[in-house]
Amino acid sequence: MSTAVPDTTPVVVGVGQYAENIGDSDYEGLSGVGLAARAAERALADTGADVAALARAIDTVGGIRQFEISGPGMQAPLGRSDNYPRSVSGRIGADPARAILEVAGGQGPQHLLTELAGEIAAGRSEVALLFGSEAISTVRHFAAAPDKPDFSETVGGQLEDRGYGLAGVSSRHRANHGMVDAPSTYAVCENARRARLGGGREEYALAMGRLFEPFTSVAAKNPYAAAPVERTAAELATVTDRNRMISDPYPRFLVSRDQVNQGAAVLVVSVAAARRLGIPEDRWVYLHGHADAYERELLKRADLSRAPSAPAAVQEALSVAGIDLADVDTFDLYSCFPIAVENVLDGLGLRAEDPRGFTLTGGLPFFGGAGNNYSMHAIAETVAACRARPASVGLVGANGGSLSKYSVGVYSTTPAPWRPGTSAALQARLDAVPDVPVAERADGPATIESWTIRHGRDGLTPIVIGRLEASDQRFIAMGLPGDDELLELLHTDQPIGASVFVRNIGPGNRVSTSRARMDELLPVRPIGFRASYEYVEVRRDGHLLEVTINRPDKRNSLTPPANDELAEIWDAYLADDELWVAILTGAGVDAFSAGNDLSYAATGKPRYLPRTGFGGLTHRAPMDKPVIAAVNGYAFGGGFEMALACHLVVADEAAQFGLTEVRVGLVAGAGGAVRLPRQLAPKIATELLLTGRRMGAAEAASYGLVNRVVPRGTALQGARALAAEILEGSPTSVRTTLRLMTDTAAEPDVTAAVNAPSAAVDALLMSEDAVEGMTAFAQKRSPRWVNR
C-alpha cells in the first residue's frame, strides 16, 4: 500500500498491553513502572521493525498519571518513581529529549495521543511513545506484608509534570457534603436521568444491566481482562451479598473495577520516520479525527442528567474526519458507570442495542478500570480492529472526572493527512450556556433535583441535590444521622420532585423531610451565652465583654469547633443590649492566635468555617458594635485576619503579625487577601501577602494597622483602657457611627457619601441617648446612657 500523505503525517504503528493477576502461576508482582515497560516493549515489537532502533529513535514519551499520584495526599504504600515516564523509558533503552506526565483523568490517553500527533504533524517530534499502568491489585496485596516489595525509584531528569488537573472536576464543597467518591457523583447523574426518562427502579436497573451485559461477553474473551466473567442483565442489576449496593442505584457489578494490574502503550511516529525505521505499512493506522471538550462543574450544569460536551466532542471528531456516525464500525466508549455510556448514546441518538456494540475491551467494570489509563487499552484494541479489517473506522471516547472531560479519536488504516482540530470553537459554544446559580449555604424549603445514598462501612449517607423554593438556586446537602424519614423518602420509587427542608450549619448543608423534622434532629440553638465553653473563656464586666481564646498550648490556633464557639459568642454579644464593647485576645503572652490549627487539619477531620467566618468574625456583616483585638504575641494567618476584622487593635511591643499562608501552600482566604490591600498601601500589602513576611508591632502601627502599642504583656490592659474611652460615649452613637461608616464605604464620591440619606442617623436623632446627651451637656453632668 502506498500513501500520498505528507511525511509529517502522524501514524500509530505499535500498540501493546500487559496484565497479570495475583494467583496466576506466572505472577511476578510487577510495579506500575514494570507493567508499563512490558506494555511498551510489546508496542515496539508490534511494529514489526527493529526494537532497539525504535527505542533509540524515541524523542518524546508521555506517561499517564497513576492513581497514587493523581491527587494531593495520595498514598503509595510500596513507594513510587520520582519520574514515572523516564523510569519506563529507561527500562526499554530509550532516552527521549522530552518526558511528559499528563494530568489526571480518563481522557488522558486520547488527549495526549492527539496532542503528540499534532506535535509530529508540526515537525516538532518524530517518534513518540505513550504509556500508562496501574498495579493497584498488587499494591493492596502487599501493602501490609512484612516483606513487601519496594517500588521506589529515583531517576531524576527532565520532566514536564502537568499537575493534577483537578480544577472544575471536583470541589471541596462537594466533598464536604459526602460526594467524595466517583460512584456517588455518577449516581446523582444516573438518578437524574431516570427521572428525566421516567420509569421505575427495577425497570431502570434492568436497563443498566442490559446495557452492560454485552460488555461482559467481550471481557470474557479478553486475555487482559481483570474480571473475564460473562453475566446476564439480571445478574448485573440484582443486589446480592456479592453484588452489594455501592451508591444507589449502582451495585458493585455496574461500577468501574479498580483492582487491576494492567499496562498499555502506543507508539505514534511520522510517516517519514516509519519509512526510515522500516515499519511495514500494514501496521500504520491514521488518526482521522479528534476532539477535546470540557464540561462545567457538576453543580453548575443546566441538567444533572446530561453532559453535552461528550456527544458534542464525538460529533466534532467525526466532522474533522469527514464522516458520519453510520460510517463508524467499532466503538469503545468509556464505561466507568452506565451513565458515562448512556450520556453519549442519548446525545447522539444511538440505541443501547446497536449491533456494533460500544466496547472492544469489555469496559471498565469487567475489563478493568485501569486508573486514568483505561483508554490506552481501548486505543490498542481499536488499532488492532482497524488492522484486522482494513479501511474500517474505529472510534474511542475517553471520559475524565465527573463527566467533566471528553476526548475522542477516530482511527482507520485508510491513509489521511493530519487534520487540525476545531475543539476551541466547540468549547466556546459549550461555554456560552449560562451556569445554574448555586447556593453554597442553603436554608429553607426546597425540592429534590437528584440524590443518592452512599453505602459504606460507616453506614448509609444520603446525599441530595436540590433547588431552593425561594430562589431556585441549586444546593447540595447531606442527610442527618438517624433520619429514617429521609431514607424512607429516598427509597420510594421516585423521590425527585419531593419537598424537603435544608439548613446550613458549620460543616455544611443538612437536609430533612420537613422543617419540623429538621428542628427535631437539628434544633436551632437560641442566641445567648453558654454557661461555659471548651475552647474560649468569656468575662462580662458591666458593658464590656472580654473573649479569650483559651488554647495556649496550641498558640491559640483554632479548630472548627473553636470557630463555632466564637461564632456563637459574637452572635450573643451583638444581640445583648447591655454589652457595648468587646475585646478579643488569646490566653498567655505568646500568641493572640496562630490561625488554623494545622495539626487538626492533618487528622482528616472535616474542615469548615461557620458562615460568619474565621473566629466567627471575618465574614460577619454588619459589625455595628466595636470589637478590639488585644494582640499579645503572634497573630499569624487566621489570627491576623481576625485582627484585621476587628475595629481597633491594641498590640504589645512583642507582637508579630503575618499572613503566612503562602508558606504552607494556602491562601489568606478568610479576609486577609481582601482587607489588607484596603487597609494598607497596595504595594506593602502585596509584599506581605506574597512573601508571608512577619512584621512587628511598631511597623504595623506605622502602617495604621495598630491603634496603640503597649509594653509586653499588657495588651489586654491597653485594650481595656481603649474600651473605657469608648464606653464614655453613647453606645447608640457608637453603633450608628459604625453603621454609617459601613454603609458609605463603597461610595467613592465623598460628597455623595456625605449627602446619602441614612435611616440609622435619623433613628439616632430620635433616640433617648441623643436627648440624654444634649440634656447632660446643658446640665453640665455626665450622661446616663440607656442604649436606645
- Residue 370 shares a structural domain with residue 480: no
Q: Are 394 and 385 in contact (CB under 8 A)?
A: yes
- Residue 567 shares a structural domain with residue 464: no
721: pLDDT strictly greater than 80: yes
Which of 661, 725, 747, 772 is catalytic? The answer is: 661
Number of separate domains in the chain: 4
What are 237's three cell numbers? 442489576
688 part of a folded domain: yes
Q: Are 15 and 280 in contact (CB under 8 A)?
A: no
- Residue 707 shares a structural domain with residue 664: yes
85 part of a folded domain: yes
60 part of a folded domain: yes
- Residue 545 shares a structural domain with residue 580: yes
- Residue 710 shares a structural domain with residue 564: yes
Q: Are 460 and 178 in contact (CB under 8 A)?
A: no
The 10s digit of each residue's pLDDT in 683-720 is 999 999 999 999 999 999 999 999 999 999 999 999 99
- Residue 580 shares a structural domain with residue 516: no
661 as an active site residue: the answer is yes
Global pTM reads 0.89
- Residue 45 shares a structural domain with residue 111: yes
Least confident of 64-68, 90-94, 744-748: 744-748
- Residue 703 shares a structural domain with residue 736: no
569 part of a folded domain: yes
The 10s digit of each residue's pLDDT in 399-448 is 999 999 999 999 999 999 999 999 999 999 999 999 999 999 999 999 99
Least confident of 114-128, 144-158, 314-328: 144-158
**In the predicted model, what is the mean pLDDT of the chain?**
94
pLDDT of residue 1: 42
Q: Please write down the HEC assignment for all residues of 747-758.
A: CCCHHHHHHCCC
Domain that holds residue 552: 536-727
Name the amino acid, one letter, at 258: D
- Gap between the Cα atoms of 142 and 205, Å rounded: 36
pLDDT of residue 3: 55
- Residue 161 shares a structural domain with residue 274: yes
- Residue 542 shares a structural domain with residue 454: no
Residue carrying C-alpha cell 494467583? 23
Which of 68, 353, 641, 772 is catalytic? The answer is: 641
Give the list of residues 6+ apart from residue 327 with CB closer than 8 angstroms, or none. 318, 393
What is the edge-to-edge ordering of all strands in the sheet holding 656-658? 591-593, 634-636, 656-658, 695-696
28 as an active site residue: the answer is no
- In angstroms, what CA-CA distances link 462 with 2, 14, 442, 450? 61, 47, 17, 11
What are 466's three cell numbers? 436540590
Q: Are 712 and 724 in contact (CB under 8 A)?
A: no
Number of other residues whose CB lies within 10 A of the CB of residue 193: 20
